[in-house]
Structure 1
């Protein structure tokens, strides 16, 4: 099993959720995040004062998939989240040793 953590633009989340759902991936943990990277932020003006916004809002999506769904899930996220502009985000993949569904006690891939 693999865990996919994707940091994406908030505007792209609906497309990513839909693409994952089309693959049969029906669960994800999504939370708001803020970060910085090569995008470097932008300058805004508020009441005549100029300031730099360099920590930008993002969404962090975490899913666990069976090994055979890894590549299709990665492609779905990439295609749905890509705008072609700096700041599209990152994807991290790591191994998962065990999954346990608390309600039923199921373990392993059936617990996903």
Structure 2
């Protein structure tokens, strides 16, 4: 199992969630986050904006589904043909075990 964490633009979240659900990945946790990327925020005049609001999506998927999920997020979350700073970042990490509390069962 793998955890896919995607930090993306707020305005792209609904489209990404819809596409993931259509593709068979309806189980997602969503959190409001703030932060900045390599560009260290952006500056307008004398004001520096370095805590930019984003959404973080968390999915636990089987190893064989990782590429499908990552490709959906990358395709839908990207702005414009070539993308832009601030479109987001995706992190994939291993998950050793998962349990369902209501059924006391192990696994997805």
Structure 1: gaps of 5 or more residues: none
- The TM-score normalised by the length of structure 2 is 0.89
Aligned to 2:28: 28
Superposition misfits of 4+ residues, deviation over 6 angstroms: none
- The TM-score normalised by the length of structure 1 is 0.86
Q: What do residues 23-62 of structure 1 show as CA deviations (whole Å, max 9, x unaligned)? A: 21111111000001134333457xxxx5221210011111
Structure 2: gaps of 5 or more residues: none
Q: Pairwise mapping of residues 61-76 of structure 1 onto structure 2 (< 5 A)?
A: 61-76=57-72
Count of aligned positions:
105
Q: Considering only aligned residues, what root-mean-square deviation do their CA atoms show, in Å? A: 1.4
Bigger radius of gyration among the two: 1
1:13 aligns with 2:13: yes
What is the DSSP-based 3-state SS (H/G/I as helix, E as strand, rest coil) of the residue aligned with 2:89? strand
1:87 aligns with 2:86: yes
The 8 Å contact of residues 29 and 61 in structure 1, kept in 2 or not, is answered as yes
The 8 Å contact of residues 38 and 87 in structure 1, kept in 2 or not, is answered as no
